Structure 1
């Protein structure tokens, strides 16, 4: 760490790289600035990508240590970092972190988590664990057992027991939606601006039926356009409702049902999952993923200097 306490924290995932310029003083970290760049997907040169993004900060403040989480530490990222097996709390993160130097700058990449999920299959996460521990740090009287949902490209369903991440389950809802938009005849990509909530609610209705099967209903995304005159925004809302509704229904089966969920994500995707939860009589507690991420990185990184 620099003598003046300047450092960079980064949440470098599959889709985005969010960097935070911070200052350590009076036993706490303060975020001074933030920038956003490319994620690890289709990013052939992470080193150049990082330095191009952070160059103005180094020019202004000089060399400083960089702490990173996310798929930057995976086999599609910059450096491969080991996983911490569940059950676990946040404490092994600093111990098992990978440290290296690039272009005269010291880097620390924190590990992800691994588990054998309730289906007996291997599962993993990188980045979300920091959001989880960041959120848990804000709880004054946490319940002994709670379910967390972190929606996104790869939605994570997490069982936390007595402050430990016991196990989790991944559903690639965001990635599946993107693949269908880009590489199928079902629909074209739709922006948030073009979103159609009525179509989304229709998809939720259909997914809630006990006999509803995602594989047997998903093609209606296209047939409702060619037969019923749905526009692309309506079809996009319908498909998203089907996918998220099926995700919620499946998670309730996997976790032996539940009536309350902690939802950690961005505002738009949080609102979609919140609607799906309330549609299924599940109450929610909402937390911003950015707030959880920064609290989590600060919690782990601060242990190095406290």
Structure 2
């Protein structure tokens, strides 16, 4: 297949960010990148199509290209608050399954949305994800694994289990959002100096606190009591809370997935890599880090290959 025919545009479009890559989906080579753009929260819904067309015009309307590359978008762009809702199918799912569920965007030729996934466990708990599912498939491809426990840190961290190359279950932890809320809107954060350099000792003190008897709700207040009487400095409150919350996240997920001591694929940005690697190591895990952007590109490319192999059919848009 000629490179022009193998090229496609991968878009990761969330509430805060827009990222795009021009990719040779056969070789996996990235031919071009738009590293940052406007997230959906900065645009009205009616502005999304025009913005997307304008940003991607450098690749889609380039007269030097023999063919206009198709666009495959993942993330919150397919949610109820996004451009067009792409219904989330239930697990288990693999890349070949999601290729059958992509939604074609009307009035923008050869443009598709990857739908995300949902899970309902035996206890009735329901969980959803959009965007992380392609990172999971991409991470499995990069790591050459079919079976894995994966951790995807973020505002809403995801833990997932894959078997035979398929995603079989996952769990959401609101670690990042709780961390920011505690610092910005509670008594714990009022004295905190968030501009101070990161303090590794304070982070490890938070990890150690998470091992004590009790739960995360009573442990959170120790940031206040330690500040008042335990020598915790204002510049150390943020890393202490980070270690405390991430420590609780890891231990809870070890219980949920019975994953104590197992290797974990850590899929995230460089900024989140350090704290999570330290926490996972502290809790007895070996880790392999995979860059989140590389995982996104590899995961969507895997779905594109299967979609093309099936003739490029897409399900209809949600009503």
TM-score of the two chains, using structure 1 as the length reference: 0.86
Partner of 2:317: none
The whole-number CA distance in structure 2 between the counterparts of 1:239 and 1:42 is: 30
Is 2:278 the partner of 1:275?
A: yes
Q: What displacement does 1:182 show?
A: 3.1
Where in structure 2 are the equivalents of 1:1-306 lying within 5 Å? 4-5=4-5, 6-23=7-24, 27-35=26-34, 36-41=36-41, 43-45=43-45, 46-58=48-60, 60=62, 64-102=69-107, 104-117=108-121, 119-140=123-144, 142-143=146-147, 146-187=148-189, 190=194, 194-209=197-212, 211-225=213-227, 230-260=232-262, 261-305=264-308
Q: Is the 8 A contact 2:206 2:241 kept in 1?
A: yes
Q: What displacement does 1:184 show?
A: 2.7
**Structure 1 stretch 221-230 or stretch 294-303: which is displaced more?**
221-230
For the structure 1 residues 278 and 297, does the alpha-carbon distance in structure 2 shift closer, same or farther, using more than 3 Å as the test?
same
The whole-number CA distance in structure 1 between the counterparts of 2:164 and 2:4 is: 38
| CA-based RMSD | 2.7
SS of the equivalent of 1:165 reads: strand
The whole-number CA distance in structure 2 between the counterparts of 1:173 and 1:119 is: 22
Structure 1 runs of 4+ with >6 Å offset? none
Q: What displacement does 1:75 show?
A: 1.5
SS of the equivalent of 1:28 reads: coil
More strand by share: 1
The whole-number CA distance in structure 2 between the counterparts of 1:51 and 1:221 is: 48
For the structure 1 residues 19 and 84, does the alpha-carbon distance in structure 2 shift closer, same or farther, using more than 3 Å as the test?
same
Q: Is the 8 A contact 1:22 1:33 kept in 2?
A: yes
For the structure 1 residues 53 and 224, does the alpha-carbon distance in structure 2 shift closer, same or farther, using more than 3 Å as the test?
farther
For the structure 1 residues 38 and 199, does the alpha-carbon distance in structure 2 shift closer, same or farther, using more than 3 Å as the test?
farther
For the structure 1 residues 189 and 9, does the alpha-carbon distance in structure 2 shift closer, same or farther, using more than 3 Å as the test?
farther
CA displacement 1:174-230 (0-9 Å, x = unmatched): 122223333333226836x73222221110010012x03211121233444455565
The whole-number CA distance in structure 2 between the counterparts of 1:32 and 1:3 is: 10
Q: What displacement does 1:52 show?
A: 4.9
For the structure 1 residues 89 and 126, does the alpha-carbon distance in structure 2 shift closer, same or farther, using more than 3 Å as the test?
same
The whole-number CA distance in structure 2 between the counterparts of 1:218 and 1:42 is: 33
CA displacement 1:70-121 (0-9 Å, x = unmatched): 111111221110112111211121211110234x554200111111136530
Q: What displacement does 1:250 show?
A: 0.8
Q: What displacement does 1:56 show?
A: 4.4
SS of the equivalent of 1:111 reads: coil
Larger RCO of the pair (alpha carbons < 8 Å, separation 6+): 2
The whole-number CA distance in structure 1 between the counterparts of 2:21 and 2:156 is: 23
For the structure 1 residues 256 and 7, does the alpha-carbon distance in structure 2 shift closer, same or farther, using more than 3 Å as the test?
closer
Q: Is the 8 A contact 2:100 2:307 kept in 1?
A: no
SS of the equivalent of 1:190 reads: coil
The whole-number CA distance in structure 2 between the counterparts of 1:238 and 1:3 is: 50
Q: What displacement does 1:245 show?
A: 0.5
The whole-number CA distance in structure 2 between the counterparts of 1:99 and 1:74 is: 14
CA displacement 1:109-153 (0-9 Å, x = unmatched): 01111111365300111111111111222344645xx31111112
The whole-number CA distance in structure 1 between the counterparts of 2:41 and 2:165 is: 32
SS of the equivalent of 2:214 reads: coil
SS of the equivalent of 1:84 reads: coil
SS of the equivalent of 1:138 reads: helix
For the structure 1 residues 39 and 96, does the alpha-carbon distance in structure 2 shift closer, same or farther, using more than 3 Å as the test?
same
